[in-house]
Amino acid sequence: MRQARVLFRVTSEQTVAQKILVGTASWSDPGFVERWYPKKLPAAERLPWYAQHFEMVEVNSTFYALPDARLVRRWCAATPDEFIFNLKLHRLLSRHSAARNSLPPPLQRVAPAKPNGQVRFTPDLESALLEETLAVSEPLRSAKKFGAFLLQLSPAFSPRKSHLSELEPIIERLGPLGLAIELRNRNWTEEENLQSTLEFFRQNQVTLALVDAPNEKHFTIMPSDLDATTNPALGYLRLHGRNAHGYLHGRSVAERFNYDYSDAEINQLAKRAKKLARETQVTQVVFNNNALDFAPHAAARMRKALGQLVKARLEQTELFR
């Protein structure tokens, strides 16, 4: 592992910044449509417009349902050659509850269900859903527009009830293509658990998604001071905002991640991203503060802080604030 990291060490700050891709979690969030995109912009033109400003996006809708491959091919056609899509894995793979109608049609007919109607997670269903996920991502991979899968685990996936080895079927199938895993239970990084957690990720050469989150020691909030690199091929930093009350008590995504980063905080996060980029081939920074239009404007300021955006282009983005 040490030898691999030496291969990716760089000294030029410009080179470091070029290895950082910045985007948001979704391009079609209601707040974006209402406040960020030009008024009356047709829905079909939002992704091309987004791709004029950012080089990557984290697709959030795949957490709720997998799209048809024809739609994914349209995403490819609507974006520049260098544009990158990350796919958030389906909620069932993330150990969240899921209804049958959230599964691909072939699986809805065979998926076992609990008495409450929710899908019952089984190894066979996991394997079948992974196959469907690979099929959906194939157009992106063929077009060389695929970045990574993101597995955003449920806070209920904890060291007390679960083992990281349970994730090995996902890691074996998706890890070679690019996989970041975001733990949502802080206990994986507390005291004696931290080293065993990092060892598992490093041995499996899978990326531990790092976060910026409220400064609270609640079990659902991962620590923002954890900067460990576990995969030299990919660094992943998700920015959730620092609204502790909203994070813990908000009932909607907009309430939980209602936070507008200051310029000073953006500069601080840019330094953190550069540090991560010195140890990885590519680092991806995803703004998940999806309230109003906070995320795209924060992402644009991040690109400016990294030296990726000239002033004129940033001002063009701000015209639609």
Total of domains in the chain: 1
> Residues of 154-175 as b/e, b for ≥16 C-beta within 10 angstroms?
bbebbbeebebeebeebbebbb
**Which residue(s) pair with 277 in the sheet?**
none
User: Residues 201, 170: contact at Cβ < 8 Å?
Assistant: no
81-97 pLDDT, tens digit each: 999 999 999 999 999 99
Instruction: Give residue 115's pLDDT band: very low, low, confident or very high (50, 70, 90).
Output: confident
Identify the CATH number of the domain in which residue 203 sits.
3.20.20.410
User: What's the confidence (pLDDT) of residue 1?
Assistant: 36
Look at residue 232 and tell me if it is in a domain: yes
pLDDT band at 252 (very low <50, low <70, confident <90, very high): confident
CB–CB of 223/189 below 8 Å? yes
With respect to residue 272, please indicate whether it lies within any of the assigned structural domains: yes
Tell whether 180 is covered by a domain.
yes
| Residue 11, C-beta contacts closer than 8 angstroms, at least 6 positions apart | none
Higher pLDDT, 226 or 311: 226
Who has greater pLDDT, 287 or 10? 287
The reported pLDDT for the residue numbered 4 is: 38
- With 50 as the cut, is the pLDDT of residue 314 above it? no
Residue 320's pLDDT band, with cuts at 50, 70 and 90, is very low
Average pLDDT in the 124-141 region? 97
Specify the range with the lowest mean pLDDT, choosing from 9-18, 29-38, 79-88, 114-123.
9-18
- Please, are residues 54 and 299 in contact by the beta-carbon 8 Å criterion? yes
Helix (H, G, I), strand (E, B) or coil at 181: strand
Residue 118 one-letter amino acid: Q
Let me know if residue 102 belongs to a domain. no
In tens, the pLDDT along 265-293 reads 999 999 999 999 999 999 999 999 988 99
Residue 101 lies in a domain: no
Q: Is residue 197 part of a domain?
A: yes
Percent of the chain with pLDDT over 70: 92
Residue range(s) defining the domain that contains residue 180: 2-95+121-318
Q: Is residue 51 part of a domain?
A: yes
Residue 57 near residue 85, CB atoms below 8 Å:
yes
- Is residue 34 situated within a structural domain? yes
Q: pTM (2 decimals)?
A: 0.90
Q: In what order do the strands lie in the sheet with 20-24?
A: 20-24, 282-287, 234-239, 210-212
Which of the four pLDDT bands, split at 50, 70 and 90, describes residue 65? very high
More confident residue, 314 or 307: 307
